[in-house]
Structure 1
Amino acid sequence: MILNDYLLSGNGYKIRLLLSMMGLPFEYVERDIMKGETRTPEYLATINPNGKIPALVLDDGRVLAESNAILGYLAEGTNFIPEDRYARAEMMGWLFFEQYDHEPNVAVLISWYEIKGLPEHADIFEPMKQAGAKRALDLMEKRLAEHNWLVGESLTIADISLYAYTHRAELGKIDMKPYPGIRAWLDRFAAVPGYVPITWTP
């Protein structure tokens, strides 16, 4: 498999985490989004017409995009996806939450401060994103204050998905001190066999 990715992307990191935890070999291809390397005619025509990373080229040449969809494909039939129907639905709920409530706030703040710089009218948008990040983290804390993992009693791809940006939230000037449950979860996650840091490539 070939993973088209950008090293600082939390969405790409999700895939690298799962591949490492599963012990699956893959080739890594860096695509610098800041230089428009996912917007070239070649990339749009052969990898992802939406011009984004991550994009995983499978052994048979087919390509999968969208990080949480890739997680679901790779984890099919493993312990990273619950067997119980209700638990699977809970897991999917967290994946949708990650893309709709968490990533648009936490990841955007990290990107502004670490990669792209603040946008025009940041005095308006930054407080809005900080408030959104707080709402998302408050909801995670409510669960993780009383449970080790987001779904059931073991790590699922919901944890992998939400770990990617949460563990770097402070880079978005988000105060993590009010979230002891999340902080304990972050420590627990980093102790899982196969764990690798965001800077890791195969």
Structure 2
Amino acid sequence: MLTVYGMKSSGNCYKVELLLEQLGRPYRWVEIDSAAGETRTPQYLAMNLNGKVPLLEVEPGRWLAESNAILCYLADGTPLWPSDPWQRAQVLQWLFFEQYSHEPYIAVARFICRWLAEDHPRRADLPRLRERGAQALAVMEQHLAERPFFAGNEYTIADIALFAYTHAAADGGFDLGGYPQICAWLDRVRAQPQFVAQTTS
């Protein structure tokens, strides 16, 4: 039985949950509250030295961290992670984009808005985060004008990775109303078999 150590409110953890549900893979979920320090205990750090979620326990004593690495591992051998080298590279391109150009701005703005106090000094970062996040959304909008999904005509883990925080971008102050291609793509993702919405508890 696969075990996921994750936090339901985290988009990175939601990626793993969504993929497992869509693959129909049985798994056990262990809720970890990183805000309460549960990822910094000696027991957790023995599994993941980086002290973050999500973490996938494949079997006793064998753990895999980093959400997009987990997606690649779980989707191997399925259409969601293509076998063709060029198509696989297209998926990787968008996985890297998500972690470098998208998540650091859209996800961080969401975190600040939802979980930090109104007078927290990190709120001063919001204008810059929103500017950079809007740049990422513009790239996505232009790309989706020519294809239904990120790695071409088929739904892949690239879509799962980008869906996780894009669908909740409004939480960080992003108005998706100006991105009709993204909105249509979000609906296409929600229409996929075995789709499950993110919960926050």
Q: Shorter-chain-normalised TM-score: which range?
A: over 0.9
Q: CA deviation at 1:60?
A: 4.7
Q: Tell me how far apart the structure 2 counterparts of residues 33 and 85 of structure 1 sit (CA, whole Å).
A: 37
CA distance in structure 2 between the aligned counterparts of 1:196 and 1:134, rounded to whole angstroms: 26
Partner of 1:195: 195
Q: Over aligned residues, Cα RMSD in angstroms?
A: 1.4
Partner of 2:3: 2
When residues 60 and 121 of structure 1 are mapped into structure 2, their CA distance, relative to the original with a 3 A threshold, is: closer
In structure 1, give the amino acid aligned to 2:165. Answer: Y
2:149 alignment partner in structure 1: 149
Q: Which residue of 1 aligns with 2:100?
A: 100
> Which runs of no fewer than 5 residues in structure 2 stay unpaired?
none
For 2:137, the equivalent position in structure 1 comes to: 137
SS in 1 for 2:178: coil
Q: Is the 8 A contact 1:111 1:117 kept in 2?
A: no
Measured against aligned partners, the alpha-carbon deviations of 1:76-129 in whole angstroms (never above 9, x if no partner) come to 111001232112111101000100010000000111111234641533x21110
- For the residue of structure 2 that corresponds to 1:63, the secondary structure is strand
1:61 CA drift (Å): 3.4
Q: Secondary structure at the match of 1:80?
A: coil
SS in 1 for 2:59: coil
Alpha-carbon shift at residue 146 of structure 1 (Å): 2.2
Equivalent residues of 2:107, 2:165 under 8 A apart? yes
1:80 aligns with 2:72: no
What is residue 180 of structure 2 aligned with on the other side? 180
SS at match of 2:56: strand
CA contact (8 A) 2:9 2:200 kept: no
Which structure 1 residue ranges, 5 or more long, are not aligned? none
Amino acid at match of 1:190: R
Post-superposition CA distance 1:53-92 (Å, at most 9, x none) = 0000013531000000000000111100123211211110
SS at 2:177's partner residue? coil
SS at 1:37 equivalent: coil
| Structure 1 residues 125-153: Cα deviation after superposition (integer angstroms, max 9, x where no partner) | 21110011001000000111221100121
- Residues 112 and 122 of structure 2 are in contact (CA less than 8 Å); yes or no, is this contact kept in structure 1? no
Seen in structure 2, the aligned counterparts of structure 1 residues 62 and 121 have a Cα distance that, compared at 3 Å, is: closer
TM-score (norm 2): 0.95
Structure 1 vs Structure 2: percent identity of aligned residues? 47
Query: Where do 1:32-111 residues align within 5 Å?
Result: 32-45=33-46, 47-111=47-111
Distance 1:121 1:26, change over 3 A: closer
Q: Distance in 1 between matches of 2:122 and 2:89?
A: 38
Q: Secondary structure at the match of 2:4?
A: strand
The answer on whether the counterparts of 1:4 and 1:31 sit within 8 Å (CA) in structure 2 is yes
